[in-house]
Amino acid sequence: MKALNLYDKQDIRFEETSMPTLDNANDVIIKVKAVGICGSDISRYNKLGPYVEGTTFGHEFSGEVTKVGSDVKNIKVGDRVAGCPAFYCGKCESCKKGELARCENLHVMGAYHPGAYAEYAKLPAENVIPVPDNVEYDTAAMVEPSAVVAHGFYRTNIHPGSEVAVMGCGNIGLLAIQWAKIFGAKKVYAIDIDDAKLEIARQVGADVTINSMETPAHEEIGKHTNSSGVDLAVESAGSPITSAQVLALPKKGGKVVYMGIPYADVNIERFYFEKIVRNELTVLGSWNAVSAPFPGKEWDASLHYMSTGQINVEPIISHRLSLHEGPETFKKIINREEVFGKVMFYPEIG
Q: Smallest Cα–Cα separation from 224: which of 164, 180, 282, 274?
A: 164
Could you give the count of Cα atoms lying within 13 Å of 254 in the half-sphere of its Cβ?
A: 22
Q: pLDDT tens for residues 69-88?
A: 999 999 999 999 999 999 99
Domains of the chain: 2-143+289-346 (3.90.180.10), 156-285 (3.40.50.720)
pLDDT of residue 114: 98
CA 39 to chain centre: 8
pLDDT of residue 33: 98
Alpha helices in 86-142, H assignment, sequence order: 93-96, 137-140
10 pLDDT higher than 90: yes
Measured CA to CA, the distance from residue 276 to residue 337 in angstroms comes to 38
350 pLDDT higher than 80: no
Backbone phi and psi for residue 188, each to the nearest 5 degrees, phi listed first: -120, 125
Q: pLDDT tens for residues 285-318?
A: 999 999 999 999 999 999 999 999 999 999 999 9
CA 109 to chain centre: 14
Backbone phi and psi for residue 210, each to the nearest 5 degrees, phi listed first: -130, 120
Measured CA to CA, the distance from residue 35 to residue 40 in angstroms comes to 14
The band of 263, judged by pLDDT with boundaries at 50, 70 and 90, is confident
Measured CA to CA, the distance from residue 277 to residue 307 in angstroms comes to 42
pLDDT of residue 138: 96
Q: pLDDT tens for residues 270-294?
A: 999 999 999 999 999 999 999 999 9
What is the pTM assigned to this prediction? 0.96
Give the end-to-end CA distance of the chain in Å, rounded to a whole number: 13
pLDDT of residue 349: 83
E strands along the chain, which residues? 2-8, 11-16, 27-36, 55-56, 60-68, 80-83, 86-87, 107-108, 120-124, 128-130, 163-167, 187-192, 208-211, 230-235, 250-258, 282-285, 317-322, 342-346
Alpha helices in the chain, H assignment, sequence order: 39-43, 93-96, 137-140, 143-154, 171-182, 195-203, 217-224, 240-245, 270-278, 297-308, 326-334
